[in-house]
């Protein structure tokens, strides 16, 4: 349940799909308007960047968009964590980032493909740093780790079983997988998360996973909540 008068839209992993993001935001705006007055809150579950083609535009839109007075929360995903460490000059992180989708993000900010193909981390850090606008960096640094509303807990990846919600470690909230996904007991709240891709929404007694692999499938999903009701909004999946 949510507190009376509150409505929440939680958006799964975007991964550089600016086209799907704008589509889904339009669907949310229309759905929200059709349902009448409420204190509406929008929660982005993280992984705005990497893998898809237009991470820079996704960050620009979300850093500057007018959400019409609605409260908006941005959770730091593991891909934002790696982005920021690479931007900070960590050469090993830059090499790791290239293996998990960072190449597409570098390209979206204008780093030449020739430089990426050469694969020298020091060159890439030196090139990338001046290309990222200061307001993008500030926006990413403002992201948070967890949001709790009513009976729901919103995180990027999941939480560690048998650890109280207020004692969770940030690295677990951004990176955990099997220990969380395979746990069938109570977490103390229904956990809404992304990070682990599934073909369809995973709605289980203790968690709801809404990462439907947008960068590859064309389906970006949002969970909507009001009172005791749940419903879903999504972009159309890619054909074939």
H or E element that contains 31: helix 18-34
Is residue 48 within 8 A of residue 80, CB to CB? The reply is yes
pLDDT tens for the chain, residues 1 to 240: 999 999 999 999 999 999 999 999 999 999 999 999 999 999 999 999 999 999 999 999 999 999 999 999 999 999 999 999 999 999 999 999 999 999 999 999 999 999 999 999 999 999 999 999 999 999 999 999 999 999 999 999 999 999 999 999 999 999 999 999 999 999 999 999 999 999 999 999 999 999 999 999 999 999 999 999 999 999 987 544
Is residue 148 within 8 A of residue 188, CB to CB? The reply is no
Q: What is the pTM of this model?
A: 0.96
Residue 203 β-bridge partners = 208
Residue 152 β-bridge partners = 149, 190
Q: What 3-state DSSP class applies to 44?
A: strand
CA distance 160 to 170: 10
Q: What 3-state DSSP class applies to 56?
A: helix
- For 108, counting Cβ atoms within 10 Å of its Cβ (0-12 exposed, 13-18 middle, 19+ buried), the class is buried
- For 109, counting Cβ atoms within 10 Å of its Cβ (0-12 exposed, 13-18 middle, 19+ buried), the class is middle
CA distance 13 to 49: 9
Q: How far is CA 92 from CA 45, 88, 175, in A?
A: 26, 11, 18
């Amino acid at each position: 349940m949510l507190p009376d008068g509150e409505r929440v839209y939680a958006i799964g992993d975007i991964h550089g799909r600016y086209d799907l993001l704008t589509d889904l935001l339009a669907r949310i705006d229309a759905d929200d308007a059709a349902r009448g007055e409420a204190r509406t809150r929008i929660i982005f579950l993280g992984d705005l960047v990497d893998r898809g083609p237009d991470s820079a535009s996704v960050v620009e839109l979300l850093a500057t968009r007018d959400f019409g007075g609605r409260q908006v929360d941005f959770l730091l995903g593991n891909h934002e964590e790696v982005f920021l460490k690479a931007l900070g000059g960590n050469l090993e992180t830059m090499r790791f980032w290239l293996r998990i989708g960072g190449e597409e993000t570098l390209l979206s900010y204008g780093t030449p493909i020739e430089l990426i193909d050469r694969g020298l981390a020091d060159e890439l850090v030196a090139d990338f740093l001046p290309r990222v606008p200061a307001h993008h960096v500030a926006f990413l640094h403002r992201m948070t780790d967890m949001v709790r509303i009513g009976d729901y807990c919103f995180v990027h990846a999941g939480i560690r079983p048998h650890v109280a919600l207020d004692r969770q470690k940030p690295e677990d909230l951004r990176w955990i997988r099997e220990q969380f996904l395979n746990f069938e007991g109570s977490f103390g709240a229904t956990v809404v998360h992304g990070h682990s891709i599934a073909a369809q929404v995973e709605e289980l007694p203790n968690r709801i996973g809404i990462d439907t692999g947008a960068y590859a499938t064309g389906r970006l999903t949002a969970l909507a909540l009001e009172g005791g009701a749940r419903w879903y909004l999504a972009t159309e999946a890619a054909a074939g």
